[in-house]
Amino acid sequence: MRVGTWGGFVFINMDENAPSLEEYLGDLIPEFERWDFKNKYILNHIAKRVDMNWKVGIEAFAESFHVIATHPQIMPSTADANTQYDVDPAQNYNRMITAMGVTSPHIGDIGEQAIVDSMTPRAHRLGMTMDDFKVPEGMTAREFMAEMRRKMVGKNFNHDYSEATDSEMLDAIQYFVFPNFFPWGGMGTNITYRFRPDGLNPDSALMEVFILSDYDQSKPRPEPAPMRLLGEDQEWIEAEDEIGGLAGVFQQDMTNMPRVQKGMKSLRRGVTLANYQESRLRHLHTKIDEYINAE
């Protein structure tokens, strides 16, 4: 088999004649260089079997189109419908950038302080109060929250983030590498998803969530967290201590995906995908067709 490494991850390819990992990842490698993935560690690793095909899971996390219906609580600070999607058919990866600290265009202007208030409902977990998150006059919520993250994350990791952009500190900079790997860009902590088939069962998949984190490099690298596999009777919300507010978001997603899986079996004319908002889904299926139709 072919084995390659990038950014602390190990890639295995059963095709001895496959291109090198570096050739396959292409321009993704220099795009991630600034975020120094090789010097991160696995802070948390949560997994759960979900009643969906593995491709349904990928589709559910490859767009922000669904936020208005599935995650309305994050709309005050998430520019969902303004997400930027970047797809190059010649590449084996694609990207989306969803701005944070900006109100969804679906609900209009709510004021800078209201945006910050929606982002800090658990301020007590940081040893802070809501009074610590008062937006100074003349400053936007986005600028303020990016600077707060620079200070808090920098203090936690003994790291200087003064050169990091607001986008690198706040935004969902999410990449998808075909066929099933979702590394997020940015500074501090990063999310990574992986979706795997559940054996030969086309109606089940293993969804994995990794939280990658910087650490104080004057000290030894912390040991990686072992994978915690949630049981069939456990909900994502039970992982809130490990992955914070993401647990509630994933719980909301779980109401969709099993239904989508069932719904696709009733379709006679296929699935209709949005031209732009679901362009990354189109890329996924284009790549699948390329491999199926290859000689």
Residue 229, domain CATH = 3.90.380
Q: In the chain, which ranges are E strands?
A: 2-6, 9-13, 41-50, 84-87, 93-98, 172-177, 181-185, 189-198, 201-213, 228-229
* Res 124: pLDDT: 45
At position 131, the amino acid (one-letter code) is: D
Q: 27 in a domain, yes or no?
A: no
Pairing between β-strand 228-229 and β-strand 41-50 as defined by DSSP bridges: parallel
Put the strands of the sheet holding 228-229 in their side by side order: 84-87, 93-98, 172-177, 181-185, 189-198, 201-213, 41-50, 228-229
Domain count across the chain: 1
Q: 23 in a domain, yes or no?
A: no
Show Cβ contacts of residue 259 under 8 Å, excluding neighbours closer than 6 positions. none
| Secondary structure letter of residue 179 according to DSSP | T
* Res 294: pLDDT: 86
> Which residues of the chain fall below pLDDT 70?
122-130
* Res 128: pLDDT: 62
Q: 14 in a domain, yes or no?
A: no
Q: 29 in a domain, yes or no?
A: no
**Where does the chain have alpha helices with state H?**
21-25, 28-32, 54-60, 67-70, 112-119, 141-157, 166-170, 240-243, 246-254, 257-264, 279-292
In a 3-state reduction of DSSP, which class is residue 141?
helix
**Which pTM was predicted?**
0.94
* Res 8: pLDDT: 93
Distance CA 28, CA 25 (A): 6
* Count of residues in the chain: 295
* Res 269: pLDDT: 76
Beta bridge partners of 229: 47
Nearest to 246 by CA among 208, 282, 280: 208
Cα torsion at 288, 290, 291, 293 (round to 10°)? 120
Q: 202 in a domain, yes or no?
A: yes
Q: 4 in a domain, yes or no?
A: no
179 prior amide bond cis, ω within 30: yes
| Secondary structure letter of residue 135 according to DSSP | P
Q: 85 in a domain, yes or no?
A: yes
* Res 125: pLDDT: 52
Instruction: Judge contact between 32 and 177, C-beta under 8 A.
Output: no
Instruction: Give the domain range for residue 285.
Output: 42-292
Structure tokens at 80: 């969902």
Q: 6 in a domain, yes or no?
A: no
